[in-house]
Chain A
């Protein structure tokens, strides 16, 4: 069975451009997470969806970031406009059931904003 699939794997963009990161969770999973990993801040939760509904977006840095989950098999994280400080690895993860389950992570998208 395929794991969590993220695209693109790498993205290099110029400051001010719009960036869209995509995620396909594991089929049947009802929770989806977007995390950002940087050297300075480690792994930070950006947003959490349960059954396609955003439950906690308190980790979204600012209004430039937005996330959607139009259906159970797809989610996007958009940054508009992008800034150099947004450079990081963005991970999508999914899990099934309640809090007693592990999250499975995608391979991440390495974003570089120049």
Chain B
């Protein structure tokens, strides 16, 4: 069975702090893909990043970085120098065949 766990339900940080959102996944597939999506207060789901199971290289995009560790089945997301506009619900997702399996999301509140 496939499963995505985001143990952090809600995180509050003060602006400019760094914050890491955790994602742990379970799958028996040897080839799979991991994703992060952002859901701002306006409600839409915005794609942030895709990673395949063969590429464990970490990625940095501006203030965002992602750490994929196959050994621990984790795909964590770090926001550096957080801003109020980062306040949103962040979802981690797994895709092995066709389904996107989503975690329950982490609500991030960045306080000014």
Q: Could you list which residues of chain A lie within 8 angstroms of chain B, going by C-beta atoms? A: 31, 33, 42-43, 45, 48, 50, 55-56, 89, 91, 93, 99-108, 110
Contact = CB atoms under 8 A, between A and B. Distances in A.
A107 B43 contact: yes
A102 B50 contact: yes
A102 B91 contact: no
- Give the secondary structure class of A's interface: strand
Interface stretch (B12-20, B60-68, B69-77, B99-107): B99-107
A100 B52 contact: yes
Given A99-B33, A102-B50, A42 B102 contact: yes
- Give the secondary structure class of B's interface: loop
A108 B100 contact: no
Nearest to B48: A102
Given A45-B99, A50-B98, A100 B43 contact: no
A45 B100 contact: yes
B100 A89 contact: no
B56 to A, nearest CB: 16
Query: In which size bucket is the chain B interface?
Result: 20 to 34
23 contacts: A42-B103, A42-B105, A45-B100, A55-B98, A56-B99, A89-B43, A93-B100, A99-B31, A99-B32, A99-B33, A99-B96, A100-B33, A102-B47, A102-B50, A103-B100, A105-B37, A105-B44, A105-B47, A106-B44, A107-B42, A107-B44, A108-B44, A108-B45
Contacts of A102: 35, 47, 50
B98 A56 contact: yes
Given A42-B104, A43-B91, A99 B98 contact: yes
A105 B99 contact: no
Contacts of B44: 105-108
